[in-house]
Amino acid sequence: MSYLDRIAECNTFDLRRYLPFDVADQRVGLVRKDFAALLGRYPRVFQVTGEHVRLAPQLSDFATRSAAVEPILRELAGQGHILGWREEPLAVTESFSAAPLMQIERAAANHFGVRTFGVHMNGFVRREDGLYMWTPRRSRNKPTYPGRLDNMVAGGQPIGKGLLENLIKECAEEANIPAAIARRAQPVGLISYCAEVPEGLQPDVEFCFDLELPEDFVPRNTDGEVEEFQLLPIARVAELVRDTQEFKPNCALVIIHFLLRHGLLPPEHPEYVELAQRLASPTLPGVPGELTSALV
Amino acid sequence: MSYLDRIAECNTFDLRRYLPFDVADQRVGLVRKDFAALLGRYPRVFQVTGEHVRLAPQLSDFATRSAAVEPILRELAGQGHILGWREEPLAVTESFSAAPLMQIERAAANHFGVRTFGVHMNGFVRREDGLYMWTPRRSRNKPTYPGRLDNMVAGGQPIGKGLLENLIKECAEEANIPAAIARRAQPVGLISYCAEVPEGLQPDVEFCFDLELPEDFVPRNTDGEVEEFQLLPIARVAELVRDTQEFKPNCALVIIHFLLRHGLLPPEHPEYVELAQRLASPTLPGVPGELTSALV
């Protein structure tokens, strides 16, 4: 097992099973062909050919598009084709900073292979003998990755909320970190990947934050999503990432990013160059270079 | 002008003008076709076809390969085909941590399009009103990028030397930083790119280091390669990177990497995602995915 294995695990898929998903002539996602066939039942909203899935062009603005798509997704959810509806709308965009073309329920995002965004924060403590990282174990009741290790705080990015604003909210819910402390979290870059999941494709960008915590701070989960917090020496965290699959896959990438930035992996490490080059892999489906390189 | 322009400037080339360069069945470089024609004059060492340039397979170890290639390169240098001979051997490898397949004079590296490696260090000072970065201006006598701004310390990686060892030596020569301080430099990742240069192709990996300096430290150049050092507020450095071409191109990338890691670019910046995804572009010529995606 190796650090690179963790990156590979987040980037395994076969794009030949997918069709591009276009909205307003912009390629915003990739739909697996079996789900595309379901969308083909709604030809006034989804134009499905052997080449692509296209949102009907007469749906010409954010509100009309979102309103036309939502009842169809609810119907598909009612038929069991979309599971775990959350009432959590996500922005569908060609890039993170672009105005959203439409919104879509989070539970359906991977069916359309649209890019998802989130925030992940490493909370650490500096002691005389080195860095320690607060490492939560996910609740056994979580629908995804129950019982796996996680970054201290993480959450998906809902539409219309600032990144830091979202992070501060998650800090309170997941670890009882007061806003005054959470606000000190420093943006430090991102990790990105494109993973195949049961629903389809998950091209994901996670904005990474570091928060150095006072030695006497003890996190406490308030939303039931965390089973326990451990404060682990960074060398132990690194081992768990490298040698096990204990961490939720994308959290392992956030930790590798941390290790590189903090000089905790020596540049002579045989995987160093490739790790640095692959941690922020292009994810936007539909940019030709990205599709091509992902296929090779 | 924008930060992304700086990345684009380091990644412009047309691979159709190049042939793969293989040593011991490993693809280690890319040779422009006009230089390949010159190498074709030495068929006992270079097997040149319309498809590739291949080092003769009977040259079966590091010493034999290096010894066979060197006199040819000296002859080509004597004929004016290779300029600026430095007597500085570089490792030719399939990856940084692999055993070198041969060594080659630095002045010829870009003719063969082999990956080059180096160290770049940002030296900064933390003041009450924020970070300041030591910014040297290259001497007007430098053969490359005379008079341009640079990272505080930088140097190519010669064969057989450790990265930190090389950095400490460069710290002394370029900025008179004592070894005891230089040793605190922290490895923080890397930037990589593939640039077209007059000689051919430069696929380059620069290991990045941060060194926080005491407020009273003043650098002094000892090898004549620096004209002056300025201590600039980080916002001014960022402006110079974004809005001008004052910095040597790869140094601009090292600074963007610094800005991202230190929270000096907000994640909402419209270029943030793409910057993070493109700062460490794959560079190894000959890995099919890399060639393909670079061509798109």
Mark yes or no for CB contact B192/A293 under 8 Å.
no
**Residue for token pair 């490898």:** B93
* Residue A88 forms contact with B (CB below 8 Å): no
* Residue A198 forms contact with B (CB below 8 Å): no
Q: Which pLDDT score is estimated for A1?
A: 87
Q: Which pLDDT score is estimated for A284?
A: 56
- Closest-CA residue to A280 (of B260, B195, B29): B260
Asked if B215 contacts B124 with a C-beta cutoff of 8 angstroms, the reply is no
A186, A263, A277 ranked by CB distance to B186: nearest = A263
Q: Which pLDDT score is estimated for B284?
A: 56
Asked if B238 contacts B134 with a C-beta cutoff of 8 angstroms, the reply is no
- Closest-CA residue to B186 (of A261, A271, A210, A275): A261
The separation between CA A126 and the C-alpha centre of its own chain, rounded to angstroms, equals: 28
The separation between CA B175 and the C-alpha centre of its own chain, rounded to angstroms, equals: 19
The pLDDT tens digits for B35-55 are 999 999 999 999 999 999 999
Residue B247 pLDDT class (50, 70, 90 cuts): very high
Mark yes or no for CB contact B267/A293 under 8 Å.
no
Residue B286 has pLDDT above 60, yes or no: no
The two beta strands, B102-105 and B130-138, are unpaired
What mean pLDDT do residues B71-84 have?
Answer: 97
Residue B282 pLDDT class (50, 70, 90 cuts): confident
Mark yes or no for CB contact A280/B277 under 8 Å.
yes
Residue B14 has pLDDT above 90, yes or no: no
Low-confidence ranges of chain A (pLDDT < 70): 284-296
Contacts of A290 in chain B (CB under 8 A): 293
> Cα–Cα distance between B206 and B37 in angstroms, integer?
30
A261, A267, A274 ranked by CB distance to B261: nearest = A261
The pLDDT tens digits for B18-35 are 999 999 999 999 999 999
Q: Which pLDDT score is estimated for B13?
A: 82
Q: What Cα–Cα distance (Å) separates residue A154 from each residue in A222, A251, B30, B174, B208?
A: 14, 9, 43, 43, 28
> Cα–Cα distance between A215 and B118 in angstroms, integer?
38
Q: What is the average pLDDT value for chain B, to the nearest integer?
A: 93
Q: Virtual CA dihedral for A80, A81, A86, A89, nearest 10 degrees?
A: -150
Structure tokens at A197: 């999941």
A162, A163, A273 ranked by CB distance to B96: nearest = A273
Mark yes or no for CB contact A260/B290 under 8 Å.
no
The pLDDT tens digits for B153-174 are 999 999 989 999 999 999 999 9
Phi, psi torsion values for A95, nearest 5 degrees: -150, 160
Across the strands, what pairs with B31? Answer: B19
Contacts of B274 in chain A (CB under 8 A): 95
Residue A64: partners with Cβ closer than 8 Å, 6 or more residues away: none
A 10 A CB-CB count for A100 gives: 19
Q: DSSP label at B104? A: E
> Cα–Cα distance between B172 and B126 in angstroms, integer?
22
What mean pLDDT do residues B200-220 have?
Answer: 96
Q: Which pLDDT score is estimated for A295?
A: 32
Mark yes or no for CB contact B190/A289 under 8 Å.
no
Q: Which pLDDT score is estimated for A252?
A: 98
Contacts of B187 in chain A (CB under 8 A): 260, 263, 265-267
The pLDDT tens digits for B85-118 are 999 999 999 889 899 999 999 999 999 999 999 9
The pLDDT tens digits for A207-249 are 999 999 999 999 999 989 999 999 999 999 999 999 999 999 9
What is this structure's pTM?
Answer: 0.94
* ipTM surpassing 0.90: yes
Task: Choose from A184, A258, A293 for mutation: most chain B CBs within 10 A.
Answer: A293
Rounded percentage of chain B residues whose pLDDT exceeds 90? 88
Mark yes or no for CB contact B190/A290 under 8 Å.
no
How distant is the Cα of A14 from the closest Cα of chain B, in angstroms?
A: 15
- Closest-CA residue to B190 (of A260, A282, A190): A260
Across the strands, what pairs with B138? Answer: B226
**Residue for token pair 């930190």:** B164
Residue A131: partners with Cβ closer than 8 Å, 6 or more residues away: A124, A125, A233, A234, A262, A264
Rounded percentage of chain B residues whose pLDDT exceeds 70? 95
For residue A283, give the chain B residue with the closest CA: B277
Mark yes or no for CB contact B261/A188 under 8 Å.
yes
> Cα–Cα distance between B252 and B150 in angstroms, integer?
8
* Residue B261 forms contact with A (CB below 8 Å): yes
How distant is the Cα of A251 from the closest Cα of chain B, in angstroms?
A: 17
